[in-house]
A = this chain, B = another copy of it.
Amino acid sequence: MSFTIQNALIPVDSGYETTDVQVADNCISAIAPNLSPVGTIIDGKNKLLLPGFVNAHTHSSEMWQRGIIPPLPLELWLAELYDFTPLDPEQVYLSALGTAVETLLSGGTSVVDHLVLIPGQELETIAAAVRAYQEIGIRAFIGPLIQDESLTAGMPAGEGGIEHAAYIRSTKATLELMEAAIKEFHNPEKDVNILLAPTGIQLCSDALFEGCIDLGDRYNLCLHAHLLETCAQKQLAQEKYGCSAVEHLQEIGFLSPRTSLAHCVWLDNDDIAIMAETKSTVVHNPLSNLRLGSGIAPILKYRQAGVNVSFGCDGAASNDSQDLLEAIKIGSILHNITDLDYRHWITPRQSVEMASLGGAKGLNLAEEMGSLTVGKKADFVLYDLTSLSLLPRTEPIGLLILGRPTNAVDSVWVNGKQIVAEGKVKTIDVDDLRRQLFDRSEWSSKRQSPMLGEIESHYRQVMKLPGYS
């Protein structure tokens, strides 16, 4: 399958250039003006061509709870999430499709799905997500969300302490499950990749981390986890390890160029140096960090230290969207208030590079994707620069990143296959998806989370908030 995009605008060092781009065998075969057309001709006039972005951290099935969880910090928000988590693999299939549609229509060509597993139907859950991503054609990186400690272990114990129930599955059984998932589903040739993705230090034993490292080494897979999303987790790490979470993860060997870590809000300068030294990637999820009151990740410091940074939407119950351009915009401008010297602020072109090449690096695929380079995978997006939201004409990338692009994605290709054309997803029936999401849900303004009631008082106590009893 080969094609030629003619007369598209692409960014070059000196500004922009109008050029042709050719694709053959799923890869970019030529970039130059006035190429002899090969295959299907695509009109790129008045359109901007950029490498596809990576939605580098999300939890697709949270879409079932978007908009409904009240303003709560992570530790209490999780109780609401757990109490109403989807339990039907068909729901997982539908929300994976929804996540992919919103990602594609906001410039993404890859998604990292830190996938919540349905207890007792773990492989079925993964199968449902795989089916969705293969049908729609987005490049998928599925990290089944695993843990071996129960939810209350994720909060600092404080002085009073707190008792934890045993987790529903043993560490050994979880690692066996992961190996089965790798054997059944890991298939990079078909754009489906499995990641080893323990939840994070707050809910995982060292044995689980070490088992994941071992599987990652044996199957050459990437590692992914949450890291220091909240102040409470920082406090917990000190209780648990007597050192910072980053120091501990380095010690057990979890940090590497194949490791991406979501959030990274509460790292200090020593931690940042370790992230740089180990060539680990930070996935910045600005919207959930604000929504859950987690804080502002020190992204300018990461960049100055040479740490690779990419962007994620995070799950739709803490965002509550999967619009990658929104995450990139806010994740870029948010940091201007953290450093008076504007020479350190992120420029729109740097944002594009973080979202594309930064995302690829975090998946150990910088040689294969993340930029418009001959020989790389044809994962890219054409933006319609005649969209009202991108007018009047000024600086195309500035408009795209700093504005609020609406109906601006014209076409998307993943691995050389066109997934979106004229602003519409072509590989699935989006109206049917909407109908199914509608029919399987109902409007609701009240629901009571039993678990929230159980843990709120302890949370307020350890966080020293007033009015706990």
Contact = CB atoms under 8 A, between A and B. Distances in A.
A393 B438 CA distance: 6
Contacts of A342: 71-73, 76, 293
A287 interface: yes
Interface stretch (A209-217, A329-337, A363-371): A329-337
Nearest to A463: B340
Given A98-B388, A340-B293, A386-B438, A16 B404 contact: no
A19 interface: no
A245 B209 CA distance: 55
A410 interface: no
A446 B12 CA distance: 13
B391 A334 contact: no
Contact of A321 (B95, B403, B446): B403
A273 to B, nearest CB: 22
A417 interface: no
B326 A392 contact: no
A15 to B, nearest CB: 4
Contact of A290 (B334, B341, B387, B388): B334
Oligomer: number of copies: 2
Contacts of A434: 386-388, 391
A2 interface: no
B337 A465 contact: no
A160 to B, nearest CB: 19
A102 interface: yes
Nearest to A292: B336
A300 to B, nearest CB: 11
B446 A15 contact: yes
Given A76-B342, A433-B388, A403 B445 contact: no
A101 B392 contact: no
Interface string A318-347: 011101001000100110110111110111
A233 to B, nearest CB: 14
A330 to B, nearest CB: 6
Contacts of A421: none
A182 to B, nearest CB: 31
Contacts of A466: 341
Contacts of A390: 67
Contact of A16 (B296, B443, B463): B443
A295 interface: yes
A239 interface: no
Contacts of A319: 402-403
A440 interface: yes
A321 B404 contact: yes
Contact of A294 (B334, B337, B389): B337
A397 B64 CA distance: 15
Interface string A196-219: 000000000000000000000000
A6 interface: no
A407 to B, nearest CB: 7
Given A16-B445, A346-B71, A388 B101 contact: yes
Interface string A288-314: 011111111000000000000000000
A395 interface: yes
Contacts of A403: 66-67, 316, 319-321
A341 B444 CA distance: 25
Interface string A4-34: 0000010000111000000000000000000
Most B C-beta atoms less than 10 A away, residue of A72, A102, A336, A465: A336
B395 A68 contact: yes
A340 B398 CA distance: 34
Contact of A337 (B16, B67, B290, B388): B290
A323 B406 contact: yes
A345 B69 CA distance: 13
Interface of A: 9, 14-16, 63-73, 76, 95, 98, 101-102, 105, 231, 287, 289-296, 316, 319-321, 323, 326, 330, 333-334, 336-337, 339-343, 345-348, 385-400, 402-404, 406-407, 430, 433-434, 437-438, 440-446, 463, 465-467
Given A71-B333, A76-B342, A391-B437, 12 more contacts: A9-B443, A64-B392, A67-B395, A67-B397, A67-B399, A71-B346, A291-B333, A293-B339, A293-B340, A321-B402, A326-B404, A395-B445
